[in-house]
Structure 1
């Protein structure tokens, strides 16, 4: 559902006035309540998509109100953003544990609240677009695996992801696998300094993204209410609806989730390694091409120089053969000149052999580079 109606709940009239002032230029219908009981009384009739809920109120705290909202099937879908003067990690964790989607700390500026509400508007719009697709995909997954055991589903998933080479496709396959167990989830994939987020509902809420950041280095497993967060080095998975009515099933599903996360991380590493090797292969091929061009240019220069020398010595030899007999030299002098000329020609021939050696060395280097490229490619 698109964001159209917002309910603000605060026991301080001044705070409600501030919220009204901030939201007056946004296209939202705003209702207000001065207490938790009043909120619960009007919420079903007003049917807001978002509730801005003060934490510290008499009669009922914001946490108690949120629990009541999430326990009621008619109001459980409503997005709750806590508004509090305190914003410690513990309080944010408590807010998330009772089902809130976001948290804003007083005093907040106009821009901050607007930004958060516009993000929630985007999240709700995308969720509305994707909900039917997710339902269709989930139904397809359930139909395909209805006769399979839980381990059979996991085996099918492992076989499937072995053919995947894109991170987004891997995340969607993971969502489908978890959906086959009836689980809704949020996922964070970490590669280098990049974080990517995926969700059964299409987009992760701000508080979930913050939760991933807070807990990514604080242990492998975190369980609270019907949620469980599994941390690996490059993947974190937050399950939103763990089964609570069957302890044996909950333990079995928890083990499955840990194993699936571990397998998925190995495939993620394989994808990252493959991409890195492809980049190295491309760079090496560029180097080989450059070396090939340089080598052939140099060999061509050497060969051209050899041919020029050969032509010069041939012309010089012919000229000597024509002129020496007419110079009036004695036989020893003629022999001396011919000997010098012959030695110069022999040195030229020796340089021709050196050119051949250079060509041979270049071919060996090119062959070695080609073998190296094949090794990197495989």
Structure 2
């Protein structure tokens, strides 16, 4: 098994094939075929990096072969270099119109051919790296966008939680938030007078109530496959469909749900008991924990923003440095730049949205402080 790039030589003249094989053998793996049909048949089960293709051949000529290669989704990225005795300007234009990547006369110096091949291989590597960078940048954008939407859910819930006047209003806000996370959940409220266990279908099942009553003493956060328990003194939640196939999302949900459960615990105590000095201290502790949790979420957002900006900036520099060497057509350059411009605009809009979220969180903290001052 060799790690050398595979070069296919297609020429009906055996002497030409032997000459090219001899020139390429030290650096590349080669295969020689003698007709366009043989070439197309071979490509159905294997692909070379580059095809050195004669133009004048019996049956399918080189232009027809190249056109079929470039029209096929499975083979369109194979580089085709015409090597032909037909070397006029019209001949070259016909070769490029057929989809060829380069066009050389048969009298070309072999060292020039080797340089051309190496340049094409280098450009293919650069294009692949560029595609990977674009994919990574888009993935970073999507993660940041998702985190922004998740933070919105937490923010909206806390706003509703603070003004909930009874358990029904609190549970309505809770299940609305869980629906935004696409989670099937069970909520349990434990007050001095009652234990209320309700699932997202607004049903109370004895088995779920018993399970959550037992789990409340087994730790703050418990996870069993797709099930996640988060326990506070007066409130517990059970997630029944945790997205365990996405560990990063599970990690973010764990943080978000802990904030939400903590807020529920605080509001249940405020609804169910007269707020005294001890309650005042508990509220202050809740404010601190909530602020810390929100700061943790914001730090994660900031880190992803910096990463996305870094990737975008690096990609822009790479494109400016490499664009001239990639040999792209004008319309290809335009499409690539439009992709980058669109992604950059998306990033700017995302950062504006996150700035609004941070302002909203600041208003929430201010509202909490005002509420605390009235106690």
Largest Rg, 1 or 2: 1
TM normalised by structure 1 equals 0.39
